[in-house]
Amino acid sequence: MEDNQIIGFFNTRNERAIEETQLKYGKLCRKIAAGVLGNAQDAQECENDTYLALWDSIPPAEPQSFVGYVCKTARNLALKKYSYNTAKKRNSHYDACLDELEDCLSAGTTPEQEIEAKETARVIEEFLNGLSAENRFIFMSRYWFSDSYADIAERSGISEKNVSVRLTRIRADLKKFLEEKEIM
């Protein structure tokens, strides 16, 4: 089923919207949530929360890219669940991914910092568009889907060491790119 048809079901409050979203994007939602949470049960809960969040937000939201909207919703909910689960403890799996990017990015909380964060996101998108498809896949697998080096290596057909080296170089290039754009 086409995404615009699914969005139409949401707009008309037809419960088939949930069924079709689950059929088309359920596995992707679970993968995103599992990458952040590292727990199948929490990932399943997050997937279900994603459907409810989509139901509550469409309408009034009219996403241009439904798959992007679904992924962003699932990831944001997984991050909230992760934050709740690890409020008083450290979870090495996801924190390790974020720690690797720490030198390049900082979190913002004031309105000015939020504006800067949006500009940073635009510049990072520009940077990613300049990467080769393979390097972009490696970067996104690690920092969007929270995949392990072993998983990335297996899917890309290169060694874990090569994944590690490429990510180190990509982060260095990202840092340099952000400095050139006066983001850092």
pTM of the model: 0.59
- Look at residue 21 in the predicted model and tell me its pLDDT: 94
Give the residue, 101 or 150, on which the prediction is more confident.
150
Residue 167: which pLDDT band, with cuts at 50, 70 and 90? Answer: very high
The burial of 141, by beta-carbon neighbours within 10 Å (0-12 exposed, 13-18 middle, 19 or more buried), is given as buried
> Can you tell me the mean pLDDT for 82-100?
64
SS (H, E, C) 96-125: HHHHHHCCCCCCCCCHHHHHHHHHHHHHHH
- Look at residue 83 in the predicted model and tell me its pLDDT: 81
Q: Is 67 left (phi over 0), alpha (psi -120 to 50) or beta?
A: alpha
Residue 137, number of CB atoms within 10 A of its CB: 14
Find, among 101, 144, 27, 33, the residue nearest to 136 by Cα.
144
pLDDT at 140 over 80: yes
- The least confident of 4-8, 53-57, 86-90, 91-95 is 91-95
pLDDT over 70, % of the chain: 84
Q: Which pair of structure tokens corresponds to residue 174?
A: 């990202």
Give the residue, 100 or 116, on which the prediction is more confident.
116
- Look at residue 153 in the predicted model and tell me its pLDDT: 93
Domains of the chain: 3-85 (1.10.1740), 95-180 (1.10.10.10)
